[in-house]
Amino acid sequence: MKIATELLKGVLEGIVLQRISTGETYGYEITQYLNAHGFEDVVEGTVYTILMRLEKQHLVAIEKKKSDRGPARKFYRLNVAGEDRLIQFWQQWAYVNTQMTQLKESRHD
Amino acid sequence: MKIATELLKGVLEGIVLQRISTGETYGYEITQYLNAHGFEDVVEGTVYTILMRLEKQHLVAIEKKKSDRGPARKFYRLNVAGEDRLIQFWQQWAYVNTQMTQLKESRHD
DNA sequence: ACTGCTATATAGTATTACAAAGTAGTTGGG
DNA sequence: CCCAACTACTTTGTAATACTATATAGCAGT
């Protein structure tokens, strides 16, 4: 499904954090995963910008490892600040979700 | 609850469309309503820019009416294109929601 | 060599929410 | 009458973020 890119703002960062939190991973793999799981139009450039943003905000630990299939990979793991941010993200998401549902179901007086 | 403004991008337009769809309304009222229903930090400037965007995209019909309490109000109603857009919005929202839930519950192999 | 896949990086653009300030009409208190 | 408070709309500028497009590079198979 085609998703308006504006609807992904803020969401994609949460998704990337979530993906990293379940085990160390790297940009290319994250992109492939998202493309195969409902976010078909997300491109590499987007994921890499997010990863570099996370790094700049000190939410991740990075380790470079050689690959047997191509260039070296930069593996990401969440640090404590990253885990906190992820928790916050899901709380906000749940909250927005709740409010949206109520809004949709409510009528004018 | 404090919501990251990035998480509202795209969402607010849908909310405003939804609010208009349940009966003709105007900017100030929409702002008040949102502030009282989970979106406390949304300010007038934001709502008015959205309304003008909707107008520019020909999704609404506008009627100016005198108020007994202050300056004249600009009332908004959705036209057919606006209704379509609203339907699309909820479809995309539901889709993203589904994918997010699956993503949160999934683990690395 | 060339193609394709793996992998990272970055410059530029469009969109959008928010901050901040301004303009105006109406009402009620002093 | 003046001023504050509330109602109501508008506009300018800024920050954040996803996307477009492109570049770089390693490795494998033909």
Tell me, what CATH number does A23's domain have?
A: 1.10.10.10
CB A85 within 8 A of CB A17: yes
CA separation for the pair B66, B73 (Å, rounded):
6
Confidence bin at B41 (pLDDT 50/70/90): very high
Whether nucleic acid strand C comes within 7 Å of the CB of B8, the answer is yes
Give pLDDT, residue A67.
82
Name all contacts of A63-68 with Cβ < 8 Å and 24+ positions apart.
A63/A24
CA separation for the pair B60, A29 (Å, rounded):
43
A90-101 average pLDDT score:
96
Number of domains in chain B: 1
Q: Which nucleotide is closest to A57, CA to C1'?
A: D16
b/e per residue A30-47 (b: at least 16 CB within 10 A): bbebbeeebbeebeeebb
- Reference A77, options A31, A29, A20; nearest CA is A20
Q: Which residue of A has its CA nearest to B86?
A: A104
Give pLDDT, residue B108.
54
- A19 and B103 within 8 Å at the Cβ level: the answer is yes
A47-64 average pLDDT score:
97
Cα dist. B48→A31, A109, B42, B52 in Å? 36, 23, 11, 6
CA separation for the pair A24, A21 (Å, rounded):
7
Structural domain span for residue B18: 5-105
Q: Is pLDDT of A108 > 60?
A: no
Cα dist. B57→A8, A101, B54, B61, B79 in Å? 21, 26, 5, 11, 11
CA separation for the pair A15, B104 (Å, rounded):
8
Q: Which residue of B has its CA nearest to A17?
A: B104
Antiparallel, parallel or unpaired: β B73-78 and B60-65? antiparallel
| Residues A66-88 pLDDT 10s | 888 888 999 999 999 999 999 99
Q: Which chain B residues are closer than 8 Å to A95 by Cβ?
A: 1, 3, 38
- B37 and A100 within 8 Å at the Cβ level: the answer is no
Question: Which of A19, A38, A96 comes nearest B99 by C-beta?
Answer: A38
| Residues B51-83 pLDDT 10s | 999 999 999 999 999 888 888 999 999 999 999
Give pLDDT, residue A66.
87
- Reference A39, options A72, A62, A7, A68; nearest CA is A7
CA separation for the pair A92, B100 (Å, rounded):
13
Confidence bin at A48 (pLDDT 50/70/90): very high
Percent of chain B with pLDDT over 70: 97
